[in-house]
Amino acid sequence: MISSSPPSSPLVIAQLTDTHLFADEDQTMKDCPTVLSFQAVLDTVAQLQPQPNLLLLTGDLSQDETLSSYHQLHNRITPLGIPTYWIPGNHDQSLADMEQTLCTAPISSEKCFQAGGWQFILLNSMLHQQVQGELSAEALATLDQQLQDSTLPTLIALHHPPLAIASAWMDAIGLQNREALFAILDRHPQVKLVIFGHIHQEFDRVRQGVRYLGAPSTCVQFSPNVDEFAIDGDRQPGFRLISLYPDGQFTTTVQRIGAANPCIESGE
């Protein structure tokens, strides 16, 4: 009998997103000390067995947009020793600072690479001084070419959600030219996964055979399915784990910190 279960030895990815770090670990966003909540998430990642093979950071890495905040990120990720890749979000307007700081091992500024029999393509959807996102014509053309050049199963990452998530306020500030992205993805069946940040909550939907996944923030969580901005105080900071198999299969779960929530503790 042929087993339908995935083959062994997957490539394990941890998606960490919307860290909103400050240079000063005592500074807060919405009463949450984001550096401390990020460290709590990293401590949870460090306890995973097996350890993830890669970390993908999907934007809004800084809140104060200082060079020091990116040093804070680098210094806290380095002890894990896990190869790490990143993309900017709408709060990461200083791309030069990111590229200057987030470019030495274990962190790489590479945006297209292969690992575990998969192709990874990381897209910059950040617009200058805007909350919503957009992919440039150049980025879309490059994506199309990259997909023509490799038939490996492919994971694409960007910051802004390309699908509506049933929260009116967030849907207004997602990816503005999503149809242009879909036009490319629909031509390339090797695309299996699109992951994103920005929404500070779980999301999981399939469109045209592609799985679209959003992840919780490492700090403040946003309430799902609401018309206006609201914080979800019932859910812990967390991250998404994805296990990728060479045949294109994958599994995914959301993990949250088991310790006391620094965001709630600070707000009491």
Percentage of the chain lying above the pLDDT 90 cut: 92
Give tens-digit pLDDT for 21-34. 999 999 999 999 99
pLDDT band at 186 (very low <50, low <70, confident <90, very high): very high
* Residue range 88-104: mean pLDDT, rounded: 95
Q: How far apart, in whole angstroms, are the C-alpha atoms of residue 22 and residue 10?
A: 34
Distance separating alpha carbons of residues 187 and 243, to the nearest angstrom: 25
What is the model's pLDDT at position 159? 98
What are the structural domains of the chain? 11-267 (3.60.21.10)
pLDDT in tens, 101-151: 999 999 999 999 999 999 999 999 999 999 999 999 999 999 999 999 999
80, two tokens: 């894990």
Confidence of residue 190 (pLDDT cuts 50, 70, 90): very high
> Where is 211: in which H helix or E strand?
strand 210-214
The pLDDT of residue 7 is 56
Mean pLDDT for 234-252 is 97
pLDDT in the model for residue 258: 82
**Residue 265: pLDDT band with limits 50, 70, 90:** low
> In whole numbers, what is the pLDDT of the chain averaged over residues?
94
Is 120:154 a contact under the CB 8 Å cutoff? yes
What is the chain's Cα-based Rg? 18
